[in-house]
């Protein structure tokens, strides 16, 4: 049995002092692969360093996070476009990209432009996208629908929408990334996931953010993925083995990773 943490920021400063222990702790709990979504131009180096240290376990994505879309967004995208061109096959996805109107709407138009550009890259390079959406779900579904020509695929990371939104995303060819929110007392996700087939789901932590119960308030890490997997097993009335097998298969397929 093994799992894939499909969205984890283990290269961030929060893991500065114990990054390798964090990874080894997760591996000891059968979480064997770590898919690393990029944030901005400044995070690329530490992300690639970690992939260099753990070449069999860590896999990098490349993209500009919506909250990092500021005045210099075009320059950052240009840098990424060059990185993608000179490193064919290095990055497993375009991510994380998306729309975030929760804190700040002043770059709304630029966020939309950056998203569309990065959708184009993903389709051109035949890579999946890892999407972050906050306070922008209807717009995101609209953007995916507009971009979907049969060649766009990806995951809505940290999915927390409604059942209708889940169904719409699946219809548009997307998987749902399920993280610690599933374990929260007030979460409506457990009820929603009862009716969503396991073949549409992949697991993630979004570490160091959004820790599952019983680690709320602490730094999240990839080993805690097990808590989310256990909760999903209960909801689906399946064994942990079955959850591992199907979600791992889904992730390997989407990100085109060789089965372990």
The site for Zn ion (CB under 5 A) is made up of: 37
Contact 180, 226 (CB under 8 A): no
Of 180 and 235, which CB lies nearer to Zn ion in the complex structure?
A: 180
Q: How far is the CB of 219 from Zn ion (least distance, A)?
A: 14
Q: How far is the CB of 157 from Zn ion (least distance, A)?
A: 6
Q: How far is the CB of 212 from Zn ion (least distance, A)?
A: 15
- Could you tell me which residues are beta bridge partners of residue 100? 134
Q: How far apart are CA 183 and CA 186, in angstroms?
A: 9
Q: How far is the CB of 13 from Zn ion (least distance, A)?
A: 15
Q: How far apart are CA 144 and CA 188, in angstroms?
A: 24
Of 182 and 235, which CB lies nearer to Zn ion in the complex structure?
A: 182
Region of residue 158 (left: phi > 0; alpha: psi -120 to 50; beta: else): left
Of 58 and 235, which CB lies nearer to Zn ion in the complex structure?
A: 58
Place of tokens 């019983």: 214
Of 54 and 209, which CB lies nearer to Zn ion in the complex structure?
A: 209
Length of the chain equals 260
Q: How far is the CB of 195 from Zn ion (least distance, A)?
A: 26
Q: Report, in angstroms and rounded to the nearest whole number, the Rg of the chain calculated over CA atoms.
A: 17
Q: How far apart are CA 121 and CA 94, in angstroms?
A: 8
Integer angstrom CA distances of residue 28 from 16, 70, 155: 20, 40, 26
Q: DSSP state, 200?
A: G
User: Where do the DSSP E strands lie in 145-259?
Assistant: 154-156, 174-178, 201-203
Q: How far is the CB of 87 from Zn ion (least distance, A)?
A: 21
- Three-state SS at 5: strand
On the 0-12 / 13-18 / 19+ scale of CB atoms within 10 A, 191 is exposed
Q: How far apart are CA 16 and CA 97, in angstroms?
A: 24
Q: How far is the CB of 23 from Zn ion (least distance, A)?
A: 17
Of 47 and 226, which CB lies nearer to Zn ion in the complex structure?
A: 47
Of 158 and 235, which CB lies nearer to Zn ion in the complex structure?
A: 158
Of 37 and 63, which CB lies nearer to Zn ion in the complex structure?
A: 37
């Amino acid at each position: 049995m093994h799992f894939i943490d499909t969205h984890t920021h283990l290269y961030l400063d929060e893991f500065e002092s114990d990054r390798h222990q964090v990874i080894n702790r997760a591996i000891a709990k059968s979480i064997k692969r770590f898919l690393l979504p990029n944030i901005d131009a400044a995070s690329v180096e530490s992300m690639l360093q970690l992939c260099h240290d753990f070449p069999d376990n860590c896999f990098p994505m490349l993209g500009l996070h919506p909250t990092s879309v500021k005045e210099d967004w075009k320059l950052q995208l240009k840098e990424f476009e060059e990185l993608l061109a000179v490193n064919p096959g290095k990055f497993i996805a375009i991510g994380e990209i998306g729309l975030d109107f929760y804190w700040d709407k002043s770059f709304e138009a630029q966020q939309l432009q950056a998203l569309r550009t990065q959708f184009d890259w993903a389709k051109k390079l035949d890579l999946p996208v890892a999407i972050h959406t906050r306070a922008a779900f209807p717009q995101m579904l609209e953007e995916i629908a507009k971009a979907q020509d049969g060649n766009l695929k990806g995951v809505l990371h940290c999915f927390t929408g409604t059942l209708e939104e889940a169904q719409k995303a699946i219809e548009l060819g997307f998987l749902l990334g399920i993280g610690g929110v599933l374990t929260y007392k007030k979460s409506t996700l457990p009820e929603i996931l009862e009716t969503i087939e396991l073949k549409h789901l992949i697991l993630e932590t979004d570490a160091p953010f959004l820790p599952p119960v019983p680690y709320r308030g602490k730094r999240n890490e990839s080993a805690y993925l097990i808590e989310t997997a256990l909760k999903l097993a209960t909801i689906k009335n399946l064994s942990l083995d079955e959850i591992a097998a199907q979600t791992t298969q889904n992730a390997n397929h989407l990100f085109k990773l060789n089965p372990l």
